[in-house]
Structure 1
Amino acid sequence: MYQDRDPNNTKFVLDRINQTEKYLGSICLQFGKVCRKEARLRDCNDSLAQNMFEFADRERINTTLRQSLQQYASYLSAVEDYRNTLITRIENQILEPLAKYGEVLKIKRQAVQKAINARDKGAQRQRKLQQATSRNPGNRDAIVAMQVNAEYAQTESSRADNVVQDEIDKFEQMKLTDIKKYLTDFTLINLAFHARAMEMYTYAHQQLLNIDIARDLEEFRTAAPFHRLHPSQRSVSETALNNPKRTTGGALSGQHSGSMSVLPDHRRDEELGSRHSLPADTRPYRGGSFENDDYRKPQSARGGLHSSSPTHEHSSKHGTSTSATSKQKTVKQNIPELISSNSSDSDD
């Protein structure tokens, strides 16, 4: 009965040991990868925080941005300090004990192998006893000695089997306890890290809310070397540009009329002429020459906006100017010449 049951027991125990060794070793390797990746992430975030510190130190214009960057970088650096604590705890509480499981499994396998050897030794002595009894049943001394050796081997095999059963039972209990402890520690370590990280990120977000964009932009505009419009002038310009009724001609004429409206009446009359003066001669071309015409004269001779000296005097009583009278005389003198030229053309 013992010989029939013992091979199944040892095979079952060896299967459990091999399965535990395979998967616990793989889990240990994955925890090592987690620690290495967390370490790389810690280094990257430390570099990011260092760049933010350098940027804040070199910032001289935007005050609120500089202060917020310094505080944000300090909180980010604190998060990475907690991440470093997470890595250290995983290494000490999980990786090192899991790495020691190789030695524990090696001891358990040796105990199982010892039990297998004792079982094989007892089975071998039992076979020798049966052979001696069948071949030479009259040799009582040899048969008694073989019986004693076979019983001793069977006792040793039974003791080794009991030891293996006790060891594998303790091993299963230790494995279940340790796996539960390691995974619980890993969960609590991550919860502690993320709780502290959430707190630090909350403070960092509050620092970002302290950035006053309008204030920093005004400081930049004040410190900029190029000229910018005053805010009141800029608002007037934006209103004029965004006016949907605005046209090019209207805007220019409005601007010109606006600049003229600020001048006093007597100054505007002196610079631009009387408001009641007649415009330039607008009669169409009816033949003849342009020698006595105003169309070929320079603008300064015709009078107008660019006259070098004021030559018109306003007459409030009659509503006419001297320049208008002179132009009317010129027109009357040119009428007989035009009539004579037209009659000569008709005779021809």
Structure 2
Amino acid sequence: MFRGDNSHSLSYEQQAKFIQDRITNVEKHFGDLCVGFGDYTRKTARLRDMGDELSKILKEYANNELVNKSLSAGLDNLSMTLTAIEEYRNCAVQRLEAKVIGELCQYENICKHAREELKHTMNVREKEMARKKVLDKARERQPFNRQQVTYAESELLKATAEMSRTAKGLSEQTEFFERRKLQQLKGLLANFVMIEMTFHAKAVELLTVAYQQIGDINDNADLENFKRKLLSPEKPVNAGISARSYSLASLLHPQQSPVKDDEDATSLNRMRSPEKSITGKSRSSSIAAMMNHSPSYSKDGDTSETEDTEETQSSSEETESR
């Protein structure tokens, strides 16, 4: 590119116009793609917000539904499923902004830089053409002035060398620009398709679960429950107050039972005669001692029993002798 010595190659002006058209084409269409993907992402974000609002409505309905129990559970499950779907949609929006729109937005500066490089190359080309004109005029007007002709030739050689370097650099940059455009456009389109495919796969999975949960709504049972409520409507607030009043009344005025009467009589006797309470304490202590007896206590008990037996035998012998 930008080689004028080949008769089959395009001229510098034609090559420059071709590069300029390619840059303008990329700038235009990439800008349109950026606007289109941006609108698509904003619509997706708006749909995400609407899904969140719908999830809140379903949740509120589920919390306020007190008669149709299975319907309330189905609405609650659907609300949670929609919330999960909108979370995945939010991730898709963020990935679209980062991997698609962000890449497209960079091409505004890339195209601007490529156009500046092309403009610099054309300026160098114009400088070279001006040096060539100066040399031609010097040869026409003062063909015998070798000093001026030699100076014009040296200036033309410098301009030609600079043009060669600039043209080579522009050729490499233009090829790099075209290669990067193809690779990045292919990559961002693949990212867009992958993002959408991942989201819709997750959405189908969650919606399948939601469909099964909706199928679990037992409309017949909810209808029967509604009929029972219709025949005998309950007032949750009044019932709660009456139950609470009944529980308080039972605590304040418990029903009398024989066992309770005995316990009350015992407590009353204890209050009237403190000695009986002391006796009760001693009884309880003796019971505790019997429950927690030690080996020494068993041995003492055996000794007392032996002594009682010997006394009984001696008394019987005295009776026989008499």
Partner AA of 1:80 in structure 2: E
Q: In structure 2, how many angstroms separate the alpha carbons of the residues matched to 1:75 and 1:114?
A: 59
Give the aligned residue type for 1:2.
Answer: G
Give the match's secondary structure for 2:106: helix
* AA aligned opposite 2:228: T
The SS at the match of 1:169 is helix
Deviation at 1:158, TM superposition (A): 1.7
Out of 1, 4, 18, the position equivalent to 1:2 is 4
Deviations 1:186-231 (A, max 9, x none): 000000000000000000000100111110001111112589xxxx
Matched, 1:122 2:128: yes
| 1:97 to partner: Cα distance | 1.4
For the residues of structure 2 that align with 1:132 and 1:2, how far apart are their CA atoms?
Answer: 24
Deviation at 1:141, TM superposition (A): 0.7
Local SS of the residue matching 1:224: helix
Q: Residue type of the partner of 1:185?
A: N
Partner Cα distance (2:104, 2:123) in 1:
29
Instruction: Pick from 53, 60, 65 the counterpart of residue 59 of structure 1.
Output: 65
Between structures 1 and 2, the one with greater helix share: 2
CA distance in 2, matches of 1:161, 1:177: 24
Structure 1: runs of 5+ lacking an equivalent: 228-348
- In structure 1, the partner of 2:96 is 90
Q: Match of 2:69, as an amino acid?
A: T
The residue correspondences of 1:161-310 to structure 2 (distance < 5 A) are 161-224=167-230
> Where in structure 1 do 4 or more consecutive aligned residues deviate above 2 Å?
1-4
**Counterparts of 1:140 and 1:204, CA distance in 2:** 94
- Identical-residue share of aligned pairs (%): 33
**What is the letter of the counterpart of residue 66 of structure 2?**
R
Correspondence for 2:155: 149
Is structure 2 residue 111 aligned with structure 1 residue 109? no
Q: What SS does structure 2 have at the residue aligned with 1:180? A: helix
Q: Using the alignment, how far apart are the partners of 2:27 and 2:230 within structure 1?
A: 69
Partners of 1:225 and 1:24 in 2: how far apart?
69
> Does residue 1:160 correspond to 2:162, yes or no?
no
Q: Structure 1: how far apart are the matches of 2:220 and 2:184?
A: 58
Displacement of 1:2:
2.3
Rounded to whole Å, the distance in 2 between the matches of 1:213 and 1:158 is: 84
What amino acid sits opposite 2:224 in the alignment?
Answer: E
**Residues in 1 aligned to 2:194 and 2:47: alpha-carbon distance in whole angstroms:** 20
| 1:80 and 2:82 matched | no
CA distance in 1, matches of 2:158, 2:77: 79
Match of 2:146 among 122, 140, 145: 140
Match of 2:143, SS state, is coil
5+ residue gaps in structure 2?
234-322
Question: What is the number of residues matched between the two proteins?
Answer: 227
Q: Deviations over 1:38-82 (max 9, x none)?
A: 011111111111000000000101010001110011001111110
Highest RCO, 1 vs 2 (Cα 8 Å, sep ≥ 6): 2
* Cα distance, 1:9 vs structure 2: 1.1
SS at match of 2:191: helix
3-state DSSP class of the match of 2:62?
Answer: helix
Distance 2:231 2:173 in 1: 84
Mapped to 1, the partners of 2:103 and 2:56 lie a distance apart of 35
Structure-2 residue corresponding to 1:272 = none
Cα RMSD for the two superposed structures: 1.4
Q: Are 2:33 and 1:20 equivalent residues in the alignment? A: no
- Comparing 216-225 with 61-70, greater Cα deviation is found at 216-225
2:51 paired residue number: 45
Amino acid at match of 2:36: Q
**Matches of 2:56 and 2:124 in 1, distance apart?**
66
Amino acid at match of 1:93: K
CA offsets per residue over residues 295-327 of structure 1, 9 Å max, x none?
xxxxxxxxxxxxxxxxxxxxxxxxxxxxxxxxx
Deviation per CA, 1:78-97, whole angstroms, max 9, x where unpaired?
11110000000000011111
Inter-partner Cα distance in structure 2 for 1:66 and 1:80:
21
Q: Which amino acid aligns with 1:98?
A: L
C-alpha separation in 1, matches of 2:19 and 2:41: 33
Give 1:121 deviation, angstroms.
Answer: 0.4
Aligned to 1:99: 105
Please tell me the residue identity of whatever aligns with 1:174. R
